[in-house]
Copies of this chain bind each other. A is one copy, B any other.
Amino acid sequence: MNSGARNLLLLSSSRLHGYGYLEHARAQLEDLFKAKNVKTVLFVPYALRDHDKYTATVRAALQPWGYAVEGLHTKPDPGRALREAQAIFVGGGNTFVLLKQLYELQLVELIRQLVLEQGLTYVGSSAGTNVATRSIHTTNDMPVMQPPTFEALALVPFNINPHYLDADLSSQHKGETRDERIEEFVSYHARPVLGLREGTSLRVQGDRATLLGERNAKLFKSDGSTVEYEPQSDFSFLLKE
């Protein structure tokens, strides 16, 4: 697919310690929306149970900044609503629940096509970032629902681990660390995973990708090695399949 029209903002999380909901990402969102003159955001609330409440939360954050927010779940024809949207925001929650719902509503191929070919602006946060990637294999969520497949929107050809977390070396807990889990994925699939710490995001414009936010990101390379990247790093090389 032609991906020159791509206009994505993939957030690690919607919340960051010390900030209000989405507040840490305000400048990033404004920059993204300004580029396409977005005034109304179509919110995709399926990752949480209460769609009305979730949409109200997002509206309360974005409306004061000058954006109208509509909930996709209120639209009688979701496909048409997506085709007419200026931008979509896919919120976090449970990645399995979200992806299952997107498949059940038969929206996966449509969103993929609108974003990659028509340049529909896409904002994802946490689970909304997971489903934007190649697959949901690197979600942190509990598999409370079973989607038909773990393959996702593939708006980018690699995997992201949102809420990426360094190991707590003082912990006495014997569950696997985040690094161990991601390395396990890499060992089975030989595919790269970008660990996005809270407060960071990936901005994708066409074939360019840039790390935003004030913290490093950790790349788990397909050969099993890892590299830390500083803010504003160029990740365009990850977009080449």
Flag if B141 contacts A137 (CB, 8 Å). no
Q: Sample 26 A-B pairs with CB under 8 A, ordered by A number.
A: A16-B174, A17-B173, A17-B174, A49-B184, A94-B184, A137-B145, A138-B144, A139-B142, A139-B143, A140-B175, A141-B176, A141-B181, A142-B181, A142-B182, A142-B184, A143-B150, A144-B181, A144-B184, A144-B185, A144-B188, A144-B189, A163-B174, A163-B175, A165-B173, A165-B175, A173-B198
Contact of A163 among B15, B16, B173, B184 (CB under 8 A): B173
* Cβ–Cβ < 8 Å partners of A97 in chain B: 188
- CB A104 to nearest CB in B, in angstroms, measures 14
Query: When chains A and B are docked, how far (Å) is the Cα of A150 from the Cα of B96?
Result: 12
Best-surrounded residue of A138, A165, A176, A187 (most CB of chain B within 10 A): A176
Majority secondary structure of chain A interface residues (helix, strand, loop or mixed): loop
Question: How many of these chains are in the complex?
Answer: 2
Contact mask A174-194 → B, CB, 8 Å, 1/0? 111000011011011100000
* Residues of chain A whose beta carbon lies under 8 Å from any beta carbon of chain B: 13, 15-18, 49, 94, 97, 136-146, 149-150, 163, 165, 172-176, 181-182, 184-185, 187-189, 198
Best-surrounded residue of A97, A139, A143 (most CB of chain B within 10 A): A143
Can you name the residue of chain B whose Cβ is closest to the Cβ of A48? B184
Contact of A146 among B15, B49, B149, B187 (CB under 8 A): B149
Known: A136-B143, A140-B176. 18 other contacts (CB 8 A): A13-B174, A16-B174, A17-B173, A49-B184, A49-B187, A49-B188, A137-B145, A138-B142, A139-B142, A139-B143, A140-B175, A141-B176, A142-B182, A142-B184, A143-B150, A144-B181, A144-B188, A165-B173
